[in-house]
Structure 1
Amino acid sequence: MTDGIVSRIIDSADPVTLVGAGAAGDGDLHEAISHAPRLVAADGGARHALAKGLMPEAVIGDFDSLDNVTRAAIPADRLHRVAEQQTTDFDKALRHIAAPLVLGVGFLGERLDHLLAAQTVLLRRPERRCLLLGRGDLVFLCPPRLLLDLPEGSRVSLYPMAPVTGRSEGLHWPIDGIGFAPGGMIGTSNRVAGDKVLIEMEAPLMLVILPRAALGAAVRSLVAPGPGWPAP
C-alpha cells in the first residue's frame, strides 16, 4: 500500500480499462476489456470489477468509497492509496497509469457533477489519452490530429472547454476558421460527410463526443501512432 504520490503504478504497452464507482451498463466493463485488456480500478470501482468476476491488477484512490469486504478480497500489494483530497479518484488513477489509451467505465453515470468533474480531468491530464464510455455516448479529449473512419452521417459532436480553433476534413460543417468557446460557438451535432473525418486542434481544449457504436473506430484512432499533447 502506498501513501502520497506514486508515479506510474501501471506502466503498460497495451490499452488499460479503468473502472470507476459510478453507474455503468451491464456490458460496459466486458466491452471495454475487449479493447483494453488490462484492468485497473479507481477506488470503489473495484466493487464493480469483482461483481463481474474480474480482479483488478491495481486499485488506486483515497479509499473513501472502498468498502471493507471489497478491500479484503483484493491482495494487499494491489492496493495503492493516494491520500490527498484535492483531486477525484479518476484523476488519482489516471495520472498513475502510463498506457497508449485508458478506457474509462463508470465515470459518466447518473450524477451530473461527476460527469463534469470527469471531463475536467480529461483536460487536466491531456498527456494521458483517455476515452470515457457512457450508456449512449463516448467522450475524449481531441488529440492534435484525429483521423476517424466512420459511416457517412454518423454524429460527431465537438464541445470546447475553453476558446480554441481547429480545422477539419470530412465533416458536413467544416470547422476551419471558427473560434470555439463554451460561452460562444460550439460544435455539437455535426456529422460525417464522407467515410473518414480528420480533425486537427491547436490546443488540448476540445472534447469529441461520439455515439456508443463508434467505440471501435475511436479506439483504433486513439491508439494509432501520432502526435500527442504534452503534460501541462
Structure 2
Amino acid sequence: MSCGISMVKYILFLFNLLCSICGVLLIVFGAMLFSNVHSLDDIKEAVQTQQVPITMIVLGAVILLISFFGCCGAIRESYCMSMTYSILLFVLMVGQLALVTYMWLQKDRYLVIMGDVVERAWERRTRKADYMDALQLSMECCGKNGYEDYSFQGYFPRSCCKDPNACRIETVYRRGCKATFVDFWDKNSDIIKYAGLVIAAIEFVGFIFACCLANNIRNYRRRRDY
C-alpha cells in the first residue's frame, strides 16, 4: 500500500480505538448507575424508571460495535469489515443529521418532549435518590412546577436546598424543574445543533477515509492475485 493509504489506516485505527474506549466507559458508567436486578419485576421497574443508564449502555454498545469494525477493518486490512464500518458510520451520520434537522424544524415540539421528561421523572419519584433529585441538583430547581409541589408532603428533598445540611424553606430553590429544564434546552439548542453538525462532518470524513481504505484494499488484492 502507498504511504498515504497506510497513514489513513493508522489514523482510522487510532480514532476508532479512542471511540471504543469511550463506548466501554459509557457501558461501565451506565452499569454502575443501573440498580441491582434480582427478578423480572426488578427488570420491569428498571426499564420504566432508569432510562438514562439504559440509554448510556445502548449508546456505548453501538459506539463499541462500530468502533470494533473500524479498528479491525483498518489494522487487519479487511475489505469486508472496512465496508461494514463505512455503512454503519453512514447510517449513524444520517440518523444524527435527521435528529439535528428535527431539532431545527420542530424546536417547539422538541421542547415539549423535554418537558415530558420532567413530567415522567416527577410521576416516578420516590423517597430515595432518583432522577428528580438529579434534576433538582443539576438545574438548581425544586419540584415539577415549583417548591410548592412538596408542601403537601411536609418535607423538602435535600436536593431542593442550596445548603443540603440545613434544608429549610428559606434555602429551597423557588423555580420549578420543568420550566428550568425546558429553558436550558431552549438556550442551548443552537449549541447542540451546531455541535451535531460538526460531529457529523467528522463522521463524514471518517466515512470517506474508510471507503478509500476499503477500495484500496480491494484493488491491492486484485493486483496481487494477477
Structures share fold, TM-score greater than 0.5: no
More strand by share: 1
More helix by share: 2
Normalised by the length of structure 2, the TM-score is 0.27
Normalised by the length of structure 1, the TM-score is 0.26
Greater relative CO, 1 or 2 (CA 8 Å, sep 6+): 2
